[in-house]
Structure 1
Amino acid sequence: MHATGAPVFYRHAYLSAYEHAPLTDVHSFAYFVVRDGDKAVAVTPAYLQTVADPLRRLHETYPEARDQRALLSHAWHCYDAHVPATARVLPRLLESMIRTASIFGARWCGFVNVQRGDALSRDLRASGLPARHLTDRWVTDLAGVESYEHYLARLSQRARANLRRNERRAREAGVTAEAVDVGHAALVEITALCDKTANRFDNNDFYRDSTFTAFVGALGDLVHVVEVRQHGRLVAAGVCLSDATRFHTWTCGIDYTVEGNYSPYGVLFAESVRLALRLGKPTLEDGRSNAAFKQRHGLSPRHLDAVLFPV
């Protein structure tokens, strides 16, 4: 997967951490490996789930699959499904997935968070499998961007002024932002803030106290944590991931009851962009949701589909 440029969600450390500390209820794990002789040409993880949709998007898109077992690739905490060499391996892969789903007693099988128009999407459609839109993820190209000021220069005058004003007000309110490695991050505090934020948007159980802490802690140098504090109190936190070419602002928590006329989310976003530039990553992946803010600040949507079929 490393050789094919797959995103961080397919790194061994990520998959191992998810198996030992799954962030959703997983009944069984399956890892499909397609080989050409002795050479692995495709690898796909899949997860047998009943409550398969902590964001509730899949059940809105496929109401007929609600509360039924499904073998899905990848997990919900990955927003970029990836299968290398799809045209060559997809028929054999689908056959194996369907057979395994049947053995597991699943009623449904398929892929979630497939980027519309990419190779996997095209080959699934060519196989006669219809796709239904789930949500969007947000991305911007940082190639050639030399500094945060250079990044700001690409934005509209209003967006640029808003970010600068927000950081000035945050400084006046005693706010600091710092990137720390996972070994020094306040993971228990961060988990509580992420959980509180998810609950605010009715995404209950997207984070689980000890499980989330164990999962993030197991990722090692794949993780970069951004902590935003006001007089020592955590008001925003971002758990970010990186691979060879991308910096992922994977998840965050925000305290919306701060003192002062500033946005903790805006401070966190600005520090995340700076960190991506310091690490030299040409692509910023800014996750799902909060479309209005992201579009205003130079990010573009990538449409994500689900492709499910009955077993």
Structure 2
Amino acid sequence: MFYRHAYVSAYEQTPLTAVEAFAYFVVREKLAGEAIAVLPAYLQQAPPPVRRLHQVYPEAAGERALLSHTWHCYDAHVPATAEVLPRVLDAMIRTASILGARWCGFTNVQRGGALSSALRAAGLPARHLTDRWAAGITTYEHYLAGLSPRARANLRRNERRSAEAGVTTETLPADQAALDEITLLCVKTASRFENTGYHPGPTFGRFVTALGDLARVIEVRQHGRLVAAGVCLTDSTRFHTWTCGVDYAVDGNYSPYGVLFAESVRVAARLGKSTLEGGRGNAAFKRRHGLGPRHLDAVLLRT
């Protein structure tokens, strides 16, 4: 998803964090000239939302770094890693030096994946950043059947109570969604978790709109008032609950986040996606509701 042309192009046109320079590495087969790997990289320095990276690499805090993708991408990879990694690393180090960056490297690398294995084989140590959460999906009822009795009962009870409270849900293309309202709700929610700056004002709405068909928006309303919203991204097999906003000051004994989550599972199943990507954070809820952790690491090199 995060390497699709629409996503990379949207991020260059309307970056969601402070990016000083963009670099795009393309590795080609020597004789045929066919591209076998690509890597977008971004020169960054500002702490939010890179604050988490600086917590595990405190020696890099306050210094420029050329990073594989941005914090808004939680799935960094390089295709054909075993063949191209040495060349990619050499190109990143040289480019970082040209741009005046003291550091370069990879963030949000799934431990045990191809990139992770190749980095470890090259003798590069990784530091744990955070976890992202995912689950396999077939149908909504099959998903419910796989939960613990308590979690299953909680979702069904929340569905019943929200319906009694006049709650409705709607899934919309990005250009038909109330992105101004959604942005405000996402900003408010992010600030509760000290992620101020993750959804930068009107830029966020322009970015989501630029994603086109890759983005879908789930709106949860109570008597017309927006109480939860999720911006979701899709690729060929995965449904990404990429970011959300929730207002818990509602009328009725229900959780708007629970409504949004359940509807996300339903939409993923309707679209035929085999994996629900739950993003990072809120580990207790996600573990309780059948998602498993994918450990994400960072590997930084001093140039």
**Fold match by TM threshold 0.5:** yes
1:73 matched to which residue of 2?
68
Matches within 5 A, 1:1-311: 8-37=1-30, 38-54=33-49, 56-142=51-137, 145=138, 147-311=139-303
How far residue 149 of structure 1 moved from its aligned partner, in angstroms, is 1.7
Partner-residue secondary structure (3-state), 2:19? coil
- How many Å separate the matches in 2 of 1:39 and 1:181? 34
Give the Cα–Cα distance (whole angstroms) in 2 for the partners of residues 56 and 71 of structure 1: 15
State the percentage of identical aligned residues: 72
State the shift of 1:55 in Å.
5.3
Find the aligned partners of 2:178 and 2:223 in 1 and give their Cα distance: 16
Query: Deviation of residue 148 (structure 1)?
Result: 1.4
Letter in 2 for 1:281: K
**CA deviation after TM superposition for structure 1 residue 52, in Å:** 4.9
Runs of 4+ in 1 over 3 A off after TM superposition: none
- On the 8 A contact 1:237/1:254 being kept in 2, the answer is yes
Q: Deviations over 1:22-65 (max 9, x none)?
A: 00000000000001131001000000011155152111100000
Please tell me whether the aligned partners of residues 47 and 75 of structure 1 are also in contact (alpha carbons under 8 angstroms).
yes
**Which runs of 5 or more structure 1 residues have no equivalent in the other structure?**
1-7
For 1:136-188, what per-residue CA distance to the aligned partner results, in whole angstroms no more than 9, with x for missing partners?
0001011xx2x312211111110000000011111111111111111210001
For the residue of structure 2 that corresponds to 1:206, the secondary structure is coil
2:167 alignment partner AA: V
- Considering only aligned residues, what root-mean-square deviation do their CA atoms show, in Å? 0.8
What is the deviation of 1:252?
A: 0.2
In 2: Cα distance, 1:230 partner to 1:190 partner: 14
Does the residue aligned with 2:117 lie in a helix, a strand or coil?
Answer: helix
Separation of aligned partners in 2, 1:149 and 1:162: 14
**Residues 224-260 of structure 1: CA distance to partner in whole angstroms, max 9, x if unpaired?**
1000001100000000000001000000000021111
Structure 2: runs of 5 or more not aligned: none
Deviations 1:242-297 (A, max 9, x none): 00010000000000211111100000000000000000000110100000110111
- What TM-score do the two structures reach when normalised by structure 1? 0.96
Contact 2:48 2:198 in 1 (8 A): no
Aligned length: 301
> Counterparts of 1:135 and 1:277 in 2: how far apart (Å)?
27
**Distance (Å, rounded) in 1 between the aligned partners of 2:99 and 2:50:** 24
